[in-house]
Amino acid sequence: MNQDVSRRKIIHCDCDCFFAAVEMRDNPALRDIPLAIGGSIEQRGVIATCNYPARRFGIHSAMSTAQALKRCPHLTLMRGDMAKYKAVAHQVFAIYRDVTELVEPLSLDEAFLDVSDTTLYQGSATRIAQLIRHRVESEVGITVSAGVAPNKFLAKVASDWHKPDGLCVIPPEEVDAFVQALSVKRINGVGPRTAGKLAELGIATCADLRCRSLAQLVEHFGRFGHRLHELGWGRDDRPVRTSRERKSVSTEHTYSQDLPDLAACRARLPELLADLDARHGRLDPPCEVRGLILKVKFNDFTQTTVEHVAPVSSLAQFEMLLEVGWQRGSKPVRLLGVGYRLADVSAEAQLSLF
């Protein structure tokens, strides 16, 4: 590890239940009741975010609105106001950039900050994080949880440690003990399926990961095995980037009524591809296509993605991908998505709104 990496001070800031927090700020009567921002049942909507009273009922982001209302029939559901949320995010990010120019947006509500060379508070990343949290709460009216650590992986884990409205600091001398005790479920990219596979191998913590060789992890998890090996030792050399490479462009649609069969799905492809081509055409700078992506979500919420390396797009190619994807479930479909993998071109960060 080079000297620059070893002395990094990274802060990960994450606005607490962001969309819901803005609505509660503007209407205090919403603060203590279950509140969610998302789409309607009629439009087969999903929950974008919810406040903590709603989370006590087991509601979470990406859950269907129908399921959320089953768990909490008295849930207050709001469609949301993206223009307002973007304006609030602009205020929050202005505070981040008052502290450092090295800000990497991940979405409207979270970012990495590199404060390694910041002289504020004699370079104390902890005090800088405290300042940021205080300013956001007093000037914007919402709360931010922050994690402070020597790298991005640990800073992101730390920001979630004491949510909501929390601060967790992992100083360099405590990294090794912290990582060894860390559950592998805390590693970004370890979802339920990977966690289940790790459990089958007797791997529950990063200390358990360290007992496996790189070759063993790659054998079981492919390319992700390299990442597991590095993070198991708390190593993450990724710098904070103020601009990010756009790797894909996509569009998807959730249908108000399930598409019953492959033919019905195929009939929806032309309109999806027209929207995809329009989105691709608006990219600045332009990006060449290097691959095709098709996503299918079935009516039981299982989903699959099919990809194909190709420099050009055609309806026939997407129809081929659709057939492969649909046959993996052979069930009615609630959502279809199409996308392009893009050639390596540096572009400004594109913020994922939902």
Please state the residue numbers annotated as binding site for Mg(2+): 14, 109
Sheet holding 103-107, edge to edge: 103-107, 110-114, 10-15, 144-149, 167-169
The span from the CA of 147 to the CA of 291, in Å, is 36
**Contact predicate 8/118, CB 8 Å:** no
Give SS3 for 288: coil
Separation CA 200–CA 198 (nearest Å): 5
User: To the nearest 5 percent, what fractions of the chain are helix, strand and coil?
Assistant: 40, 25, 35
Using the structure block, give the residue that is written with the tokens 């089953």.
Answer: 70
Residue 18 to residues 31, 48, 85, 140, 194: CA-CA distances in angstroms? 13, 10, 8, 12, 28
Cα–Cα distance for residue pair 73/180, rounded to 1 Å: 42
C-alpha 95/C-alpha 93 separation (Å) is 5
Question: Helix 315-327 vs helix 262-281: angle between axes, to the nearest 10 degrees?
Answer: 130
For the chain, how many helices (H) and strands (E)?
14, 14
Alpha helices (H) in the chain, listed in sequence order: 3-6, 18-26, 52-55, 65-71, 82-99, 125-135, 152-159, 175-181, 192-200, 206-210, 214-221, 224-232, 262-281, 315-327
Residue 307 a catalytic site member: no
Angle (nearest 5°) at CA 253 between 247 and 259: 130
- Out of 23, 101, 110, 307, pick the active-site residue: 110
Find the Cα–Cα–Cα–Cα dihedral 330, 39, 165, 348, rounded to 10°. Answer: 80
Q: How far apart are CA 270 and CA 221, in angstroms?
A: 36
Residues with catalytic annotation? 110
